[in-house]
Amino acid sequence: MFKHLLYIFIGGGLGSVLRYLISKTANNPENLIPYGTLTVNVVGSLLIGVVMGFALKNSSAYQPLILTVATGFCGGFTTFSAFSFENYVLLKNGDYLSFMIYFSLSLLLGIIAVVTGVFLVKNF
């Protein structure tokens, strides 16, 4: 059990640091939407799709990989709570167009990324 928690801890720490760096670099208050958060959510969705697609394809999937990457890294890297707060701010500021674009793109691209990741692993 401790070993599993260690895998998640390491992955989560790495994911959180990378998310911070990307968001710090790409999020700009002058932009219509928070591109850094959008990027990490889509990339994280693609990555979890690839890892879980691998797990579905290979019944003997390597458990530490799943714990480190899917649970830890993707959990620390993707930013649903930040996404939710940023949408709240857009709504609070009355920026309904930005809210609709950001909300819709995040959900649509996130789901497409997961499906793409699973498809890539299953077919290649």
Number of other residues whose CB lies within 10 A of the CB of residue 104: 10
Report how far residue 18's alpha carbon sits from residue 78's, in angstroms, rounded to the nearest whole number.
10
78 labelled binding-site residue: yes
Apex 23 CA angle, 18 and 24, nearest 5: 100
Element (DSSP H or E) covering residue 26: helix 2-26
Q: Determine if residue 94 is left, alpha or beta; phi over 0 gives left, psi from -120 to 50 gives alpha, anything else beta.
A: left
11 is in an annotated binding site: no
DSSP assignment string, 45-89: HHHHHHHHHHHHH-TT--HHHIIIIIIIIHHHH--HHHHHHHHHH
Binding-site residues sit at 75, 78
Positions at the binding site for Na(+): 75, 78
